[in-house]
Structure 1
Amino acid sequence: MTVQLPTIPMTGVPFAPAEYERRHQKVLEAVASANLDALVVTAHGHLRYLSGYDGSGGYFAPFPLILVPGRRPIFVVREYDEQSVRAYGCIDEIVTYTHQLDFGVVCADVLRRLGLQNKRIGFELSCWNLAPADISAVQAQLPDLRVVDASRLVPLVAAVKSEIELQCMRDAMRMTDVVVRTFQKSLRAGISEVEMLQLVAAAVAEDPSNAEGEIDISLPTILFGERTKLPHGPASRHAIKDNEPAFLEIGTSKYGYAAGIVRSAVVGRHPEAESTHALAEDLIETLVAAVKPGATAGEVDAAGREMLKKSGRQRLFRQRTGYQTGMNWSERGNMSLEPNATDILKPGMTLHIPNILRSESGYLIGTGAQLLVTEFGAERLSSTPNTLHRA
């Protein structure tokens, strides 16, 4: 007897099949260029990029998406999650396993069925959601399998956005600007970090352009006063006082495409924060000017470090300059703007440059940019000024 399942609302992939087919083709071209016979994708952000499904069920064991030249992709997922994978994904051929210990056997069986048991297979060895034990479990079944690290293959394909992806980035950035304006309008002595987070979350939820609820807040950092010395600190009930700095690093995402920004403020006056922010304003202009097609990621990073060296305050900068954005804020393996990085910038890439300085006393002060690489240089996606907000 066939059971007719009820229609489940609010499911489906966000883009047309042709968009996912374009992505598959680009990735398969990269597979061929890397002299690989197949690619096994396990990073959740990469799964979402290639299938629509966000991979969230894979906390239990990997959900490998297997791409082989000349055939449709195969998704290996836990049986418990199969219906969600089908509801939110575009992959037709799905093979399931039941328990964590079944993963290696089932995944190896699929690879064997595809004739890949002794071929060069790319795995995302440096990314999240794949453990050494997972690789060992597959190799125990396929001892002649040749495992190759392909952690950077999908990210470098995904770095260049299609027009529909860029529209998602622009929509997310407009909502992030709503967050920044709400933050600035609401900042006053006595308000707590948690209260501010609630206000900006309400602004996103209630904005008329977000009537369908497809845009949400991503990885918020709101810190006041002495707590601005804590990188990535969670919001607390700590309230800001007169003559203290405030720090905001936040983004919103649409269909997983996140557009983040860094902004700083002071309630009253704070000379150290003001001086640090003035340097950050000069630095962001230097970095934006360095972003152009043909430049390497390392050259952009070097331009900022040279400017800081000339200022005599280079020790205020202690991290990488930025990274590619798009699906999620950042996956391991994504292009990174850091010393000696050789990745070449291309039109259509989107970059987050946080531009955060640590002042002499340890306050985190910054004013960043979300950029689109164009044929002529860099386009800033945010409409909020990078000046220090004073409340």
Structure 2
Amino acid sequence: MAMTFSPIPLTGAPFPKSEYERRHKKVFDAMERAGLDALLVTAHGHLRYLTGYDGMGGYFMPFPLILAPGRAPTYVVREYEVNGVRAESCVEEIVGYTQQQDFAKVCSDVLRQYGLESRKVGFELGCWNLAPADVSALQAQLPNMKVADASRLVASVAAVKNELEIKAMRDAMTMTDLAVRTFQASIRGGVTEAEAAAAIYGEVRKAGGDDVRMVSLGFGDRNKLPHGKPLRHPIKNNEPAMIEVGGTKLAYAAGLVRCAVLGRHAETESLHALSEEALEAAIAAIKPGVTAGMVDAAGRKVIERSGRPQVFRHRAGYQIGINWGERGNLSLEPDATDVLEAGMTLHMPFILFSESGYLFGSSENVLVTERGAEILSQTPHTLYRA
């Protein structure tokens, strides 16, 4: 007896099917340039970009989306998650497996059925959600299959956004700006990190925001923790505060770093001034045709000129959009050769380390345009003084 599926309330892919078909075509074009006969997409952010489904059921085992020319996109997922994938994605061809040990057999059967058992197949070897054991298990089933590293293929396609995606980014930034304004309004003696976070969540929810990603929120000496989570720790006079937060819309995130000082705090104030100068230099370097490494160098040069090169211990930024922080995405780092194009969106956090260990700085989320960088935020990256 055939199974029937009735619509489930509040589900569906975020964008029209035609948008996902456009994305698939761009990926197929990139596959052709790379000489791939098929692609297994396993990174959660890339799955969301190509299907609408967030991929979170893939904690069990990989949930590969198989893309092969002339075949409908095919999702191989755990049986338990089939209804969720069907309801929340644009994919119609779904193949299920039951237990972890079934994954390699079921997935290899699909690849064999598609005539790929001895072809060149791209895997996201450098991304999250794919373990070496998963690849080994598939190769044991298909010993003649040629495995190629395609970690950056989907990322390179997703880096350049169309108007639908840019609108989602702008809407996400509206919620990020609200979160930052709420953070700033919360800075007064005795307020705890947890109370400030609760106020942010409440205001964004009231405004109809989708979600808030609280990457970091710290007061006082807790600003020495990277990615510190808000606890019941109060801020006192003459202490610093920092937040890294992102509102989201249709799974697109727009991150920002903003800092404040209650009273005065010379050590972090000096750090913030240098961060602002480096950030502005990096933004000024952005235009189509420059490399990611050139943007990093522009900001890094400011810091080196200050005589404090040890305060900058990471990259100048990265591609942002779906799934903030996907491994394998475009990175603004020394000597990076990726060429910037109009339509890219970048998060540029210049978070610096003080001599005693404080993390402090500023960031912007920018859209690359033909004229240069457009800053998406409406809240200045200058230090907020309470």
Instruction: Work out whether the TM-score is over 0.5.
Output: yes
Residues 182-214 of structure 1 deviation map (CA, whole Å, 9 limit, x = unaligned)? 11111111011111110000011001xx2xx5x
> Which residue is equivalent to 1:275?
270
Q: Please state if 1:309 is matched with 2:301.
A: no
Gaps of 5+ in 1: none
Instruction: Tell me how far apart the structure 2 counterparts of residues 5 and 73 of structure 1 sit (CA, whole Å).
Output: 20
Change (3 A) 1:10 1:40: same
Shift of 1:85: 0.4
Question: One-letter code of the match for 1:344?
Answer: V
Q: What residue in structure 2 maps to residue 264 of structure 1?
A: 259
Gaps in structure 2 of 5+ consecutive residues: none
| Selected match of 2:345 from 350, 357, 360 | 350
1:234 aligns with 2:224: no
Query: Are 2:102 and 1:102 aligned?
Result: yes
State the match for 1:34 in structure 2. Answer: 34
The alpha carbon displacement at 1:4 in A equals 6.0
Give the deviation of 1:41 after TM superposition.
Answer: 0.3
- Report how far residue 8 of structure 1 moved: 1.9
What is residue 182 of structure 1 aligned with on the other side? 182
Amino acid of the structure 1 residue aligned with 2:246: G
1:335 corresponds to which residue?
A: 330
2:240 alignment partner in structure 1: 245
Match of 2:61 in 1: 61
For residues 219 and 137 of structure 1, do their structure 2 counterparts lie closer, same or farther at Cα, with a shift above 3 Å needed?
Answer: farther
Give the Å deviation of 1:70: 2.4
TM-score normalised by the chain length of structure 1: 0.97
Distance, in Å, in 1 between the alignment partners of 2:6 and 2:29 is 39
Aligned to 1:146: 146
- What does residue 83 of structure 1 align with? 83
Does the residue aligned with 2:151 lie in a helix, a strand or coil?
coil
Q: From the superposition, tell whether residues 178 and 144 of structure 1 become closer, same or farther in structure 2 (CA, over 3 Å).
A: same
CA change 1:25–1:269 in 2 (3 A) is: same
How far is 1:363 from its partner?
A: 1.0
Which secondary structure state, in structure 2, belongs to the residue aligned with residue 367 of structure 1? strand
Equivalent residue of 1:355, what SS?
Answer: strand
Report the secondary structure of 1:266's partner residue.
Answer: strand
Structure 2 counterpart of 1:29, one-letter code: D
Q: How far apart in 1 are the matches of 2:152 and 2:5?
A: 40
Note closer, same or farther for the CA distance 1:151–1:3 as it changes in structure 2 (3 Å cut): closer
Aligned counterparts of 2:3 and 2:273: Cα–Cα separation in 1:
66
Contact 2:7 2:87 in 1 (8 A): no
Give CA deviations for 1:42-73 in whole Å, capped at 9, x if unaligned. 01111000001111111001111000122221
Report how many residues are paired.
386
2:128 maps to 128
RMSD: 1.1
Q: Secondary structure at the match of 1:231?
A: coil
Instruction: Give matches, 1:150-229, under 5 Å.
Output: 150-207=150-207, 210=208, 215-229=210-224
- The residue identity in structure 2 corresponding to 1:168 is A
What is the alpha-carbon distance in structure 2 between the residues aligned to residue 70 and residue 143 of structure 1? 24
Residue 6 of structure 1 and its aligned partner are, at CA, apart by 5.3
Which amino acid is the alignment partner of residue 275 of structure 1?
S
Q: 2:379 aligns with which of 367, 381, 384?
A: 384
- TM-aligned CA deviation for residue 256 of structure 1: 1.2
Instruction: Compute the TM-score of the two structures, normalised by the length of structure 2.
Output: 0.98
Aligned residue type for 2:268: A
SS in 2 for 1:368: strand
Q: In structure 1, how many angstroms separate the alpha carbons of the residues matched to 2:360 and 2:73?
A: 45
Partners in 2 of 1:223 and 1:300 — Cα distance? Answer: 29
